[in-house]
Amino acid sequence: MPIVDIHTHTAYTEAAPETFVHYMVANVVGHGGNPTEGLGQEGSAERALASFVAEFSRPERFVAHLDEQGIDYACVLAEIAPVTSGIATNGYVRDFCAHSPRLIPVCTVNPFLHHQPARLLERLVREDGFRGLKLYPTYAYFYPNDRALYPVYAAAEALGIPVQVHTGSSVFQGSRLKYGDPLFLDDVAVDFPDLSILITHGGRPFWYDRAFALCRLHRNVYIDVAGLPPRKLTTYFPELPRLPGKFVFGSDWPGLPNPVRDNVAAIRELPIAAGAIDAILGETATRLYKIAPS
């Protein structure tokens, strides 16, 4: 079973807010997304970040990174949230992922910036080959169950693509946590029973119980564990062994403090059955994103 990382971002982000750049400098500078200590003189961190972005903006280098980390496939997420975390356009992600079939393009829509976002989604999937949708409520200031988004969910359901929805907290200044409660996705799960919904970050740190309850109640709801310490998954979700097929591995690269392979190793060490680990690391993702391993 291949290992699939369903949650990676691009190294390059255009029009990024200053607070986002400061976060990247403090936490992401260094090879493979690891922090670099002792950068020395003023300005060296910014230069190191520029070097990191230049290196990993090359798709062939990112694929080599996947090899180094033992990852077979990676979903690359578009992001259009100029207020909080910047912009990685759908076009940029499409072109980046065209380099390799191991890169799965995931598009985004912003209901405040896109006219007729449902039609845009249909175009992105049918014409540009996107395989999933990512929404950023806490970054773009909308509730996930806003009826204005229902045409988008209807389109995603008809297209057969999964939808990842950011929930819980964020380190980026300007994020508004009130939009991140997973409970808002209950309406979406009920009204679109054939739409696969991934609760990104599992509602961290306030709403782990709600996220798990939604997975238990709805056959079409899953938890994307990106950004969560793998060794604590059974602490945050004590009943995880009951529903291993509802948890999907994601790293949140490049914004993580340790190599992706360490997170994979930590999941393999969880006190759960081997079959459950396979489900988390790749089996469920290959089904949701229609990945056909070669």
Please report the pLDDT score of residue 22 as a whole number.
Answer: 80
User: Does 42 map to a domain?
Assistant: no
The rounded percent of the chain whose pLDDT value lies above 90 is 80
CATH at residue 207:
3.20.20.140
User: Does 32 map to a domain?
Assistant: no
User: Does 49 map to a domain?
Assistant: no
User: Does 187 map to a domain?
Assistant: yes
Q: Give the span between the Cα atoms of 28 and 51, in whole angstroms.
A: 12
Of 11-15, 58-62, 186-190, give the lowest mean pLDDT range. Answer: 11-15
State the DSSP string of 101-136.
TTEEEEEE--TTT-SSHHHHHHHHHHHH---EEEE-
User: Does 27 map to a domain?
Assistant: no
What's at 89, amino acid-wise? T
Q: Give the span between the Cα atoms of 283 and 31, in whole angstroms.
A: 29
User: Does 53 map to a domain?
Assistant: no
Range of the domain at 127: 4-15+71-288
- pLDDT, tens only, 112-133: 999 999 999 999 999 999 999 9
Of 35-39, 116-120, 187-191, 269-273, give the lowest mean pLDDT range. Answer: 35-39
Q: What is the DSSP letter of 8?
A: E
The rounded percent of the chain whose pLDDT value lies above 70 is 94
20-29, long-range: CB < 8 A, 24+ apart: 20/84, 20/85, 20/86, 20/172, 21/49, 23/171, 23/172, 23/255, 24/49, 24/254, 24/255, 25/49, 27/255, 27/257, 28/52, 28/254, 28/255
What's at 113, amino acid-wise? L
Q: What is the DSSP letter of 14?
A: B
- pLDDT, tens only, 220-277: 999 999 999 999 999 999 999 999 999 999 999 998 778 999 999 999 999 999 999 9
User: Does 31 map to a domain?
Assistant: no
Is the predicted pLDDT of residue 160 greater than 60, yes or no? yes
Total tally of structural domains belonging to the chain: 1
User: Does 30 map to a domain?
Assistant: no
Structure tokens at 197: 């919904």
- pLDDT, tens only, 59-78: 999 999 999 999 999 999 99
- pLDDT, tens only, 73-104: 999 999 999 988 889 999 999 999 999 999 99
Q: Give the span between the Cα atoms of 228 and 157, in whole angstroms.
A: 28
- As a whole number, the mean pLDDT across the chain is 92
Q: Cβ contacts of residue 284 below 8 Å, gap of 6+?
A: 222, 245, 246, 247, 248
